[in-house]
Chain A
């Protein structure tokens, strides 16, 4: 699979292939029907597309609720293993070990490649 070497490939789709006027009209007729159908379908998609996000969101909050009901853990510091991690290892947030392992820095990429917004 070459994904780097794609270069510029602007392939015109073969709609411009030579077709007779009759065929053209026929295609247009079919096209209208297909478009109407597609428009119907697409409206459906617009109505449906947030459904997935909403259902997944509901599950995410369901997990929050479950964890809080089962283990009484609503806030991060209540995590018993986390307490152990800080107790035995990094000591506290923003400690030296934390800064080394859990923090990072960022650098502009524009130096090497100026981008316009």
Chain B
């Protein structure tokens, strides 16, 4: 089992100069077609969700970066390895060598199901304990992005219930009970948060919405992606309360199956930890910007970094006892697959609305009907029994939660467009819609190992119809 080599390049000097659809600071041209290697086979055009690639068959193709959402699907699907990725491996290595810096690995769910391919293991070899050990060997401390996924569910799940309470019940305030604690959520600002709610964990999808469907933006959950939640929490709570390290010397590295996350980390608004630290007098007011996430490595980049350091994660054992931010729930780890964010949110909403404590071993807490698997769009209705307090509010003993999973935006938006148009026109049937840019979810992301079969698109579009 071997994987294809993907060429990388370092950040060019003008990459953060703002222009057209990029604000100053945002990285441009993360995905780049090397015209010396492109043979014009046109595969990339067929997999691009954003219609960002131009070029006729047999001619060199070109990415129009203002239209590109950085998903990297063209890269993993190019049969000729002509597409390259901007990478920050050297920068991270430098920080690892610096003894004063605490380098934090924010490790995404889908990395653990694919990185083993880079070290000769069969696809689908789950790598958690040994990946953590290899990262520690390299000098990282770990902030599981799965821990951040649990944060996301608490925030995004509560937001969803808030939207339902405001728009369907007309409530101005809403009470939920978590950990036996009653929490009152004010709903005044929910008039700007209409239903249906869309997920916001996928930066490819967020940029897609910002570029092509600005009308849908109020529908996007205000939650940051897990990566950005992790960065902001690591430099505040993590640095001060857990690691007891100077927050200014904490360097956060997103380790992602995704090339769009490289772009996301560079979005100029994401320096909320710095803002919080300054407000709380934990950091002198300073002009230099401290991003919440300092660098992003793709799964492939991490494999390259390990190889430079002579570390093979497969040599370690899987067994481990989670510490601090290594803890995560089952709902969090399935974020890496299409329908996973949805299922995790449904599990949480079910718990809140029904008042039932989950039995982790029971399949009653699986919601297979929302999983994407290899279907382009999945729709499901979940019957949620209500606890007495909510029964009164709704005048019913159950709530029908209607959800939809968009498993990949699809070629030129084919899977997503009908769903989005319904939402904008106000005729959507759903309460909650998950959108992942990549078919299958992040485990098929643009930063994942590229298998020599080249292509990984779900639709039977290319290269042949079956």
Contacts and interface: CB of A to CB of B under 8 A. Distances in A.
Interface string A70-103: 0111111111111101101110111001101111
Interface residues of B, number: 120
Given A60-B109, A68-B330, A72-B360, A53 B443 contact: yes
A81 B365 contact: no
13 contacts: A3-B15, A52-B456, A56-B444, A76-B154, A77-B150, A77-B153, A82-B151, A94-B185, A101-B229, A101-B273, A103-B155, A107-B210, A107-B217
B206 A60 contact: no
Interface of B: 9-10, 12, 14-15, 20-21, 28-29, 32, 35, 39-40, 55, 58-60, 62, 66-67, 84, 86, 109-110, 112-114, 122-126, 128, 147, 149-155, 157-159, 162, 178-179, 181, 183, 185, 206-207, 209-214, 217, 220, 222-224, 228-229, 232-233, 236-237, 241, 269-270, 272-273, 275-276, 322, 324-334, 336-337, 340, 344, 347-348, 351, 358-361, 365, 373-374, 413, 417, 439-441, 443-444, 451, 453-458, 460, 463-464, 466
A104 interface: yes
Interface of A: 1-4, 6, 8-13, 15, 39, 42-69, 71-83, 85-86, 88-90, 92-94, 97-98, 100-110, 112-113, 115, 117
Contact of A117 (B325, B359, B417): B417
Contacts of B20: 112-113
A96 B441 CA distance: 31
A91 B183 CA distance: 10
A35 to B, nearest CB: 12
A17 B48 CA distance: 31
A90 B457 CA distance: 40
Nearest to A80: B327
A92 B178 contact: yes
Tell me the interface secondary structure of chain A in the complex. helix
A3 B84 CA distance: 10
B273 to A, nearest CB: 7
A46 B464 contact: yes
Contacts of B58: 12-13, 15
Tell me the interface secondary structure of chain B in the complex. mixed
Contacts of B113: 56-57, 59-60, 63
B212 A77 contact: no
Contacts of B351: 75, 77
Nearest to B128: A63
A46 B123 contact: no
Given A10-B60, A57-B440, A67-B333, A103 B223 contact: yes
3 closest cross-chain pairs (CB), A and B: A55-B124, A108-B214, A1-B9
B327 A82 contact: yes
B55 A75 contact: no
Contacts of A6: 32, 35, 62
Given A10-B60, A93-B154, A101-B272, A76 B149 contact: yes
Contacts of A100: 272, 275-276
Contact of B337 (A11, A12, A57): A57
A64 B334 contact: yes
A49 B52 CA distance: 23
Contact of B329 (A44, A75, A104): A75
Contacts of B185: 93-94
Contact of B183 (A12, A88, A92, A108): A92
